[in-house]
Amino acid sequence: MAAEAEVLDELHRLRARVPQLTGALAASADGLVLAHDTPGVEPDGLAALTAAALGVAIRMAESTGHGDLRELLVRGVHGYVATYAAGGSAVLTLLAQDRVNVGRLHLEGRRSGTRIGELVDAATARGEPAAEPARTSTKAPLRTRTPRGTTPRSPSTPATNHPRTSES
């Protein structure tokens, strides 16, 4: 994406305006990284988690009659994760220390989200791809998760009549 450099510049400017930010990521709504400044955080994983959280937040806003999602704020013991709509097809996710001024975080996050949305939407209108395909990782693949933490039975293991796994 030709706008990637401009989006990255916006992320750097945002981090300069809000010193308590520990990371900033712009991603497509479906979880592809557009640009990132996330030291110590794997950007592809953060983009994927953002897309998953975004899906739930959108459904929650719609099902409660509160309209289109504008932002999502998660507060953890050690800080905040804030996600803002950025145009029609992108999101901005910010990581911040617990001592950040949340009002300032929202003010600057919304401004940058608007700017990034303009950049991404303009690039999309020019026919540029919204995001580059994910890079091939050299990491080992993640283990397959099984329901409720159970492990799959091998063919030689007899089936048990466990209430969580038996069909009624």
CB neighbourhood size of 153 (10 A):
11
Cα 97 from Cα 10, distance rounded (Å): 20
Alpha carbon distance 126, 115 (integer Å) = 17
Asked whether residue 144 is assigned to any structural domain, the reply reads no
With b for 16 or more beta-carbon neighbours within 10 A and e for fewer, the 3-25 pattern comes to: bbebbbebbeebbeebebbbbbb
Whether 86 is in a domain gets the answer: yes
* CATH label of the domain that carries residue 88: 3.30.450.30
Look at residue 66 and tell me whether its pLDDT is greater than 70.
yes
CA distance 62 to 167: 34
The total number of residues written for the chain in this structure: 168
Check: CB of residue 8 under 8 Å from CB of residue 37: yes
User: Considering the domain boundaries, does residue 61 fall inside one?
Assistant: yes
| Per-residue pLDDT tens digits for 27-45 | 999 999 999 999 999 999 9
Phi-psi region of 79 (alpha: psi -120 to 50; beta: other; left: phi over 0): left
Can you give the residue range of the structural domain that contains 111?
Answer: 4-125
User: Which pTM does this prediction carry?
Assistant: 0.75
For the chain, how many structural domains are there in total? Answer: 1
Q: For residue 130, is it within any domain?
A: no
Would the CA dihedral through 17, 23, 27, 33 be positive or negative?
positive
12, part of any domain: yes
pLDDT band at 141 (very low <50, low <70, confident <90, very high): very low
Whole-number pLDDT of residue 139: 38
In a domain, 31, yes or no: yes
Does residue 112 fall inside a structural domain?
yes
**Is residue 157 in some structural domain?**
no
